[in-house]
Structure 1
Amino acid sequence: MRRVVITGAGTINPLGPDVATTFAAMREGRCGIGPLDIRDVDRLTIQIGAQIKDYDQATHFNRQQLVLYDRFTQFALLAARQAIAQSGLEFSGALADQSGVVLGTSGGGLTTQDENYRAVYEEGKNRVHPFIVPRLMNNAAASHVSIEWNLRGPTFTVATACASSNHAMGQAFNMVRSGMSQVMITGGSEAMLCFGGIKAWEGLRVMSKDGCRPFCATRNGMVQGEGAAVYVFEDYEHAKARGAQILCEVAGFAMSSDASDIVTPSKQGAARAIAGAVKDAKTSVDQIGYINAHGTGTAANDKTECAAVADVFGRHADKVLISSTKSMHGHLIGGTGAVELLACIMALREGVIAPTIGYQEADPQCALDVVANTAREAKVDVTLSNAFAFGGLNAVIALRKFS
């Protein structure tokens, strides 16, 4: 089995338009959640979200491109642009044939879908643009990344709700590790902050009206966000031969299904994925320094996740640092695991643990070492990033400091 390393990272999310800005925001505990600025917001019960502010699509793409690019595709392309530039890779010949794209998303082109439902059902139009299907299909972002950079290897999209990005990155990891691909561009993107996207989530009654406070006794729900993060996963020997800068190593991955309930999380299912990732990374729980939690801020998720961590880590459970950056950038649904992986990379490279902000009062059912409100310095060699989705689908990625 080959070693897999990350040689490029890019993002656009509510905390910033690139990795450096996002790291700074995480270190400072900056909040990207605020009042929503979308059409018909007054008809919504939930009027807050983590939006990408001051975003002008015309700055980044021409009119011909925008005909084809939904907002989630735009975010993916911008993040991929940064990641590939940092990697220094150029894709041609045999390398192009051995390089592909796996991205996660849950809603795909939901903004396009929402706008065109309005046009047909509210405004009474009988025709829509001929490129609506190519804009809204879930694989649009992965396909456009493939086209933009001549990536002719395995390319597809994973849609497993809130675990989409972690599942996508896990598949990319295994493709490079097995030798199927030399390089995979992977991560996730989501842009659900439209009227229909918020209204649908309102129906679940899991949304907060005032903020996201994971693991806090006063938590009252999740807050949606939007954005993307994309990475270059590369065969270590290939990266070494060309003298690439290596950000960290992808050490392990595991996934599981609760096989029990479509919305209620299972401690046993989450624990199997966490334990599986530790085992796949060929490490032990006492070597894990930081967990970026799924940590949605809902009563059910947070206590279930903490119980799963406690089960797997045993007597080491109070020694591992844990935080949920959703308190800052919101829940990016299918793109959330990709953005949250940045906090793991920051922990490994900079020795800084991003905090759970808005934390007011400890919850006895979440009795772990939660990094609350202020970032903490710590020497970390191995991290885990958890993602647990509706449908009972769990995916956990382990990263190791490169040396």
Structure 2
Amino acid sequence: MSNNRIYQICTNCVMDTSDSKIVFDEKGVCDHCNDFYQNTKPNWHTDEKGLAELDDTIKKIKKEGEGKDFDCILGMSGGVDSSYLLHLAVTKLGLRPLVFHVDGGWNSELAVNNIQVMIDKLGLDLYTEVINWEEMKDFQLAFFKSGVPHQDIPQDHAFIATLYNFADKYNIKYILNGGNISTECVRNPMEYLYYGTDMAQIRDIRKKFSTNPMKTYPFSPVLRHKFYLRYVKGVQVIKPLNHMPYVKEDALKLLAETYGWTPYPQKHFESRFTKFYEAYWLPKRFGFDTRRVQYSSLILTEQMSREAALEKLKKPAYNPETIEDEFKYIATKLGISVAELRSYFDMEKKFYWDYRNQLAMFKTGAKILKFLGIERSIKR
């Protein structure tokens, strides 16, 4: 993609013109910041009001879960958000969640350990759904061959679809989600991290580059889980962290002291593939560093100074001394040579608009959900 704009960085956060659609006001403050201050922050309640709303929801979950083995389901990645949410759900909210983990083939040893120490300490059972590796491998390679930046869709789609499919199959009405405004109030630009449930795009890329029929991979169209399961089947996604103060560093300290949980170098690095993709592939091939979004979110919620973020951004997210080993690991796992993997890095860049997509439908749906107060902002 050609981005010929003169370089500019926000004077308030660290988002810059690597986001080609970013807009700055006369003070040099970006639209991500202004959207947060004007729309998100005034409607974000982590005080008594938010806690009261959460309390009403928790009471409902407990009542409907009476007599059942569990009253909700919690998707566990091993990351800080889902781990802290599990701690809260069991020890503070008194819920009885089914802990659900999707193994897409890329778990780091650290993630496996972080999940297990919590399960053991809390005395819970862990349900793990393992994705067929031959299908996942083919899906990942298809996305590499497509040239697009959103290389994490094969993993992300499997996680979302499997969780919703399980909830639907076993009539589970409440899904606990660690998504939160506190550390995720700034959205990734859509040109780099496109919608993971656009089935038109997935089908087009698979048609062009896939060789596996993928008969068991858990696909789920967005209309199914956003509308059918939500409004027909009554499946609700609950985000407790949005209703209470949530400070990342405090959560990390609690998890370490209580469970022996070990932090990751960066958000989403519980996956070996995501670590390689976000630390190296996306910034080096496409010029976008996801840390800008992560740090800007923390700046806006007053958990990090802009100066500290700028200092961290001076160093690459990947380790230059071990990146060759990372290339070898990813290539070997995918059953290809390092040379082939590098050929995908050097190929012509493509984006979501180079393939069939359902962008118009997503935009319309997002506007409706925002109007109804379900979504806080429209992805752009």
Q: Which has the higher helix share?
A: 2
What is the TM-score normalised by the length of structure 1? 0.27
What is the TM-score normalised by the length of structure 2? 0.28
Q: Which has the higher strand share?
A: 1
